[in-house]
Homo-oligomer: A and B are copies of this chain.
Amino acid sequence: MRLKRKDILTIEDLTRDEIELILSTAGSFREVSEREIKKVPTLRGRTIINLFYEASTRTRTSFEIAAKRMSADAINISASSSSVVKGETLKDTAKNLEAMNPDCIVLRHPSSGAPDMLARFVKCPVINAGDGSHEHPSQALLDLLTIKEKLGRIDGLKITIVGDIAHSRVARSNIYGFTKLGAKVNVVAAPTMMPMGIEEMGCTIINRVEDAISVADVIMILRVQLERHKVPLFPSLREYSRLFGLDKEKMERAKKDVVILHPGPINRGVEISPEIADGPYSLILDQVKNGVAVRMALFYLLLGGGRE
């Protein structure tokens, strides 16, 4: 089976089979990064553009390393430096980049839907590296890979997501991904952080954090993104931490073999306490490691022998 689509824009669009193909491909690329010579020649002579309208060292670095380990040429364009556009529209930027014959454009953008627009404008594959509060599909894929690697399955798991669901593209992508692969997703958050109609995405709201934790096979803690909120969503970080922060006390309610994920970067002592972040349940660094493998797999499936 092969991937029959041009772009990776959302998890919402992907079928269960497509997700599983990506995960199994990523699994086979994981060992490349463990070798002494961390490189396969598959995408030699291909040009991958990382077009980042938001600063994100972590995600950009992961895509750049993935591209280079596939032997592709990676071109970084940062639009936070005022240079990209001089007032140019995204469409014009897209058409101009396309004219340079890239083989793939990876786009991070503050506006929801920007990657979808880009994908309509250009013939080459587009990968959404996070758009506004919409989706961050490669993050959800690496989360799925991490859980599957650790627990052997996604199907039937109970997964609790804690934090600012309303503003989190990570939460949205993961809810789609977990649900499609047969997990049961519970969400818990302050009322200001819980979007209307979230149940329609197939998840269940649980009011008390303790209850949401006690039933979970997997706990996913979201980052408090202070930099994104125009109005404060809670009285103080201390208040947030006491109510929603995952700490030793709250973890006493958790199952013995629970695993914990966080998309990073973590605010230690806010949404997660240091002893939990660094503790035995935490898969945070496995997530980062799997991020490179997932992105190699996406490049392979979209650019390589993998697309029909």
Contact = CB atoms under 8 A, between A and B. Distances in A.
Interface of A: 33-39, 44-47, 49, 55-58, 60-62, 64-65, 68-69, 73, 75, 77-89, 92-93, 95-101, 103, 227, 264-268, 285-289, 291-292
B47 A38 contact: yes
A275 B207 CA distance: 54
Contacts of A85: 57, 265
A125 to B, nearest CB: 14
Contact of A62 (B57, B79, B100, B264): B100
25 contacts: A35-B45, A37-B45, A37-B46, A38-B46, A38-B101, A39-B44, A47-B65, A55-B81, A57-B83, A57-B85, A61-B97, A61-B100, A62-B100, A65-B75, A68-B73, A69-B73, A86-B227, A88-B264, A88-B266, A92-B264, A92-B265, A93-B265, A99-B289, A100-B291, A101-B289
A267 B100 contact: no
Contacts of A38: 45-47, 101, 103
Contact of A292 (B39, B56, B100, B265): B100
Nearest to A78: B81
Contacts of A93: 265
Pick the most buried of A39, A86, A267: most chain B CB atoms within 10 A of its CB: A86
Contact of A61 (B75, B88, B287, B288): B75
Nearest to A46: B38
B45 A100 contact: no
Nearest to A285: B99
| Centre residue among A33, A35, A38, A99 by max chain B CB count within 10 A | A99
Given A87-B267, A100-B292, A285 B55 contact: no
Contacts of A37: 44-46
